[in-house]
Amino acid sequence: MIDPELATQAIRLALAHGASDAECTISEGEEFTASVRMRSLETLKDAGSRGAGLRVLIGKQVGSSYTSDLSAEGMRKLVESALEIAVISTEDPHAGLPDESELGSLSADLRLYSDDINSIDTTYRIAQALEAEEAALSADSRITNSEGASFRPGRNPREPVRRRQRSRAAEFPRLHAPELQLPGGPSAGGRS
Q: Which domains does the chain have, with CATH numbers?
A: 5-96+113-188 (3.30.2290.10)
Residue 86 is predicted with a pLDDT of: 97
pLDDT in the model for residue 191: 39
pLDDT of residue 127: 96
Contact 79, 13 (CB under 8 A): yes
What lies within 8 Å, CB to CB, of 83 at 6+ separation is 14, 17, 18, 19, 56, 58, 63, 177, 180, 182, 188
Q: Model pTM greater than 0.85?
A: no
CB 191 within 8 A of CB 176: yes
Burial of 84 (0-12, 13-18, 19+ CB in 10 A): buried
- For position 106, what pLDDT does the model report? 78
Q: What is the pLDDT of residue 120?
A: 92
Q: Given this model, what pLDDT does residue 160 score?
A: 62
Euclidean distance between the first and final Cα of the chain, in Å?
A: 43
Are 169 and 175 in contact by the 8 Å Cβ rule? The answer is yes
Residue 84: the pLDDT is: 97
Alpha helices by DSSP H, listed for the chain, are: 5-16, 72-88, 122-138, 168-171
Mean pLDDT by 10 residues, the chain (192 residues): 85 94 88 93 92 94 96 96 97 89 80 83 95 95 94 71 48 34 46 38
Bridge partners, residue 44, by sequence: 34
